[in-house]
């Protein structure tokens, strides 16, 4: 049976044109490559600390 | 770049694969799936401008211009030269009034959402109607409208909204699911309808009446045609029994005469033979007459079927109109005016019915309900085979049979697709499956 409140939660506000600029400035999304890069760098730093 | 070359290439390839799949779904007008795949594509590789550009197009098609603009600006920032995003932004800039209309639609949608969260469903519905007037292709507005109408007991209207969602976004699983649940709820509805549903039914009927009053020219034609139908029906059904009774009476009379002469054992055997010859001739003529009236009876029944088609059409019962129109055997209709009117009605009701049947069938296919999908996809193909999705309907019909283990049927349908739609974008998939099935 359709649960109104549950289904309603799935509806989020849509972006308006006036909000596009802010949305772009707020865009700090990293893709998978950058995330993996960060993970590799962190692992390297931890290894260097262990060696010391 | 710290990530090893192989891993980096795999990530890029994944992004490309998701883009390709998203492109396929967009071509099939399965916008929800395309959106998810393309978002995934740019998550793997944010520099994939093709995926980003296509994502923008999908957003625009779903009625969300700001989301589209955002993607294209991000795309343009990543690559200035040779980037279609620049062209898309330019086109939007030129058609500023349309862009503003669509933006207003979004504002009304957002206002409606606020009303819904505060429990004011009537106000939400008003806002959503405005949103739909400004942009009839705004998928989310139709979805939210369906939810509000369903909550206020207006199930028939809610179903129509969900059907609109599926017309715009063929693979919208939420809409498919709701439609199924609403239909299930309708079947189990108690007999005492709430006042709201009775009101809705009356409003529906009034709307049908308005539709009838609008279609004046078709009404005039049909009035003439119905007059012809009634006239011929009267002729066929009143005259025919009379003619047949006449025939029986004549045969009986002549037979009596012959028997009488024979029993008297007279020398007039030649006369008896003459009378026998005349009897045979009469019998032949009257049987021919019976065949004629037999044909007329069948013709009258075809005319009645055509009148049924028009009757449903005038009342706005599109589904019944389609079913009735499919039942008419055109070869039995001799009147060119009737055929012309029939073609006009079919031209109006067949395309949307074929689209709806395809959308529903495709949604069931996606839900792996292949047995249920088959009759809908077949219906779509029966009604129309020249629509932009007709090759897709045939493809998914073949796939259903394939997945149900009916190899011969699947092969036959795949081969038909290659012959009937040589330019289909499902050609490669079809060839692959045919190779698999034949080996």
- Asked if pLDDT for residue B129 goes beyond 80, the answer is yes
Highest mean pLDDT of the ranges A11-15, B209-213, B234-238, B242-246 = A11-15
Quick check: is B344 in a domain? Answer: no
Nearest to A14 among B43, B110, B181 (CB): B110
- Tell the residue number behind the tokens 């740019």, with chain if given: B42
What confidence score (pLDDT) does residue B167 get? 92
Band of pLDDT at residue B222, cut at 50, 70 and 90: very low
What confidence score (pLDDT) does residue B236 get? 47
| Residue B363 structure tokens | 């949604």
Same domain flag for B231 and B171: no
Quick check: is A30 in a domain? Answer: yes
The number of domains in chain A is: 1
In this prediction, residues B335-358 reach a mean pLDDT of 82
- Whole-prediction pTM: 0.49
Cβ-contact B14, A50 below 8 angstroms: no
| Smallest CA–CA distance from A19 into chain B, residue | B66
What confidence score (pLDDT) does residue B428 get? 84
Quick check: is A2 in a domain? Answer: no
Tell whether B331 lies on the interface with A, counting CB pairs under 8 A. no
Nearest to A23 among B47, B70, B181 (CB): B70
Residue B121 is part of a domain; what is its CATH number?
A: 1.25.40.10
Q: Which residues of chain A from 12 to 51 reach within 8 Å of chain B, CB to CB?
A: 13-17, 19-20, 23-24, 27, 29-34, 36-37, 40-41, 44
Quick check: is B343 in a domain? Answer: no
Quick check: is A31 in a domain? Answer: yes
Same domain flag for B169 and B109: yes
Same domain flag for B195 and B238: no
Same domain flag for B206 and B220: no
Domain enclosing residue B45, as ranges:
5-94
- Asked if pLDDT for residue B289 goes beyond 80, the answer is no
Lowest mean pLDDT among B155-159, B253-257, B354-358: B253-257
> When comparing pLDDT for A37 and B69, which is higher?
B69
In this prediction, residues B245-258 reach a mean pLDDT of 60
Same domain flag for B317 and B258: yes
Band of pLDDT at residue B298, cut at 50, 70 and 90: low
> Of B403, B410, B401, which is closest to residue B435 (Cα–Cα)?
B410
Return the percentage of chain B with pLDDT > 70, whole number.
71
How far off is chain B from A15, nearest CA to CA, in Å?
Answer: 6
Measured CA to CA in angstroms, residue A4 lies from B117, B121, B148 at distances of 11, 12, 9
Measured CA to CA in angstroms, residue B417 lies from B304, B354, B413, B430, B431 at distances of 37, 18, 6, 8, 10
> When comparing pLDDT for B146 and B258, which is higher?
B146
Same domain flag for B112 and B185: yes
3-state class (DSSP) for residue A12: coil
Band of pLDDT at residue B263, cut at 50, 70 and 90: low
Band of pLDDT at residue B221, cut at 50, 70 and 90: very low
B172, B197, B214 - which closes a domain:
B214
pLDDT tens for each residue of B22-42: 999 999 889 999 999 999 999
The number of domains in chain B is: 4
Q: Determine the residue among A6, A32, A36 to mutate to test chain B binding: the one whose Cβ has the most chain B Cβ atoms within 10 Å.
A: A32
Cα separation, B219 vs B312, whole angstroms: 12
Quick check: is B282 in a domain? Answer: yes
pLDDT tens for each residue of A27-51: 766 777 777 778 878 888 888 887 7
Domain enclosing residue A42, as ranges:
14-51
Nearest to B116 among A8, A17, A32 (CB): A8
How far off is chain A from B357, nearest CA to CA, in Å?
Answer: 23
Cα separation, B177 vs B108, whole angstroms: 26
Band of pLDDT at residue B432, cut at 50, 70 and 90: confident
> For every residue of chain B, which 3-state class applies, written as one string?
CCCCHHHHHHHHHHHHHHHHHHHHHHHCCCHHHHHHHHHHHHHHCCCCHHHHHHHHHHHHHCCCHHHHHHHHHHHHHHCCCCCHHHHHHHHHHHCHHHHHHHHHHHHHHHHHHHHHHCCCHHHHHHHHHHHHHHCCCCHHHHHHHHHHHHHCCCHHHHHHHHHHHHHHCCCCHHHHHHHHHHHHHHHCCCCCCCHHHHHHHHHHHHHHHHHHHHCHHHHHHHHHHHHHHHHHHHHHHHHHHHHHHHHHHHHHHHHHHHHHHHHCCCCCHHHHHHHHHHHHHHHHHHHHHHHHHHHHHHHHHHHHHHHHHHHHHHCCCHHHHHHHHHHCCHHHCCCHHHHHHHHHHHHHHHHHHHHHHHHHHHHHHHCCCHHHHHHHHHHHHHHCCCCCCHHHHHHHHHHHHHHCCCHHHHHHHHHHHHHHCCCCCCHHHHHHHHHHHHC
> Of B367, B365, B424, which is closest to residue B398 (Cα–Cα)?
B365
B106: chain A residues, CB-CB within 8 Å? 14-16
What confidence score (pLDDT) does residue B436 get? 85
What confidence score (pLDDT) does residue B120 get? 93
- Asked if pLDDT for residue B196 goes beyond 80, the answer is no
- Asked if pLDDT for residue B313 goes beyond 80, the answer is no
Tell whether A11 lies on the interface with B, counting CB pairs under 8 A. yes
Q: What is residue A26's DSSP assignment?
A: T
Tell whether B105 lies on the interface with A, counting CB pairs under 8 A. no
Quick check: is A19 in a domain? Answer: yes
In this prediction, residues B311-329 reach a mean pLDDT of 80
Quick check: is A5 in a domain? Answer: no
- Asked if pLDDT for residue B217 goes beyond 60, the answer is no
Same domain flag for B79 and B104: no
Cα separation, A12 vs B116, whole angstroms: 12
- Asked if pLDDT for residue B271 goes beyond 70, the answer is no
Same domain flag for B145 and B169: yes
Measured CA to CA in angstroms, residue B333 lies from B219, B323, B326, B337 at distances of 20, 17, 14, 10
In this prediction, residues B82-96 reach a mean pLDDT of 91
Same domain flag for B126 and B31: no
- Asked if pLDDT for residue B139 goes beyond 80, the answer is yes
Q: Cα torsion at B17, B20, B22, B26 (round to 10°)?
A: -170
In this prediction, residues B162-186 reach a mean pLDDT of 86
- Mean pLDDT, chain B, rounded, equals 79
Quick check: is A39 in a domain? Answer: yes
Cα separation, B409 vs B268, whole angstroms: 72
Quick check: is A29 in a domain? Answer: yes
Quick check: is A27 in a domain? Answer: yes
What confidence score (pLDDT) does residue B293 get? 43
Nearest to A32 among B44, B67, B73 (CB): B44
Size of interface A-B (CB pairs under 8 A): 92
| Residue B432 structure tokens | 């692959």
A8: chain B residues, CB-CB within 8 Å? 116-117, 147
């Amino acid at each position: 049976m359709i649960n109104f409140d549950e289904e309603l939660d799935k509806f989020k506000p849509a972006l308006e044109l006036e909000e596009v600029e802010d949305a772009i400035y707020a865009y700090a999304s990293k893709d998978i490559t950058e995330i993996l890069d960060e993970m590799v760098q962190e692992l390297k730093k931890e290894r260097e600390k262990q060696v010391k | 770049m710290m990530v090893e070359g192989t891993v980096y290439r795999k990530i890029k390839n994944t992004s490309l694969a998701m883009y390709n799949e998203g492109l396929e779904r967009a071509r099939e007008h399965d916008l929800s799936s395309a959106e998810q795949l393309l978002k995934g594509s740019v998550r793997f590789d944010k520099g994939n401008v093709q995926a980003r550009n296509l994502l923008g197009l999908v957003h625009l098609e779903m009625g969300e211009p700001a989301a589209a603009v955002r993607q294209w600006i991000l795309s343009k920032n990543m690559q200035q030269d040779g980037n279609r995003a620049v062209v898309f932004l330019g086109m939007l800039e030129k058609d500023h009034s349309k862009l503003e209309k669509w933006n207003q639609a979004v504002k009304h949608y957002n206002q409606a959402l606020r009303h819904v969260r505060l429990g004011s469903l009537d106000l939400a519905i008003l806002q959503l109607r405005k949103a739909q007037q400004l942009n009839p292709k705004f998928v989310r507005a139709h979805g939210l409208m369906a939810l509000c109408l369903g909550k206020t007991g207006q199930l028939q209207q809610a179903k129509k909204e969900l059907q609109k969602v599926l017309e715009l976004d063929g693979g919208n699983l939420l809409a498919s699911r709701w439609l199924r649940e609403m239909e299930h709820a309708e079947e189990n509805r108690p007999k005492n309808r709430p006042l709201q549903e009775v009101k809705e039914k009356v409003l529906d009927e009034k709307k049908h009446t308005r539709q009838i009053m609008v279609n004046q020219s078709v009404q005039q034609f049909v009035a003439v045609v119905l007059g012809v139908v009634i006239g011929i029906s009267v002729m066929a059904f009143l005259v025919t029994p009379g003619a047949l009774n006449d025939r029986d009476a004549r045969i009986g009379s002549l037979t009596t005469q012959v028997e009488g002469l024979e029993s008297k054992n007279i020398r007039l055997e030649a006369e008896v033979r003459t009378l026998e010859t005349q009897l045979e001739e009469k019998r032949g003529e009257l049987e021919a007459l019976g065949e004629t009236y037999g044909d007329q009876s069948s013709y009258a029944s075809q005319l009645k079927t055509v009148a049924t088609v028009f009757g449903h059409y005038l009342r706005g019962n599109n589904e019944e109109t389609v079913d009735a129109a499919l039942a008419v055997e055109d070869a039995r209709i001799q009147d060119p005016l009737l055929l012309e009117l029939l073609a006009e009605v079919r031209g109006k009701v067949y395309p949307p019915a074929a689209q709806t049947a395809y959308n529903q069938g495709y949604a069931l296919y996606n839900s792996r309900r292949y047995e249920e999908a088959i009759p809908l996809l077949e219906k779509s193909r029966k009604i129309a085979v020249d629509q932009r999705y007709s090759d897709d309907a045939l493809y998914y019909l073949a796939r259903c049979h394939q997945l149900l283990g009916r190899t011969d049927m699947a092969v036959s349908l795949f081969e038909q697709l290659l012959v009937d739609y040589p330019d289909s974008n499902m050609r490669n998939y079809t060839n692959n499956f045919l190779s698999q099935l034949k080996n």
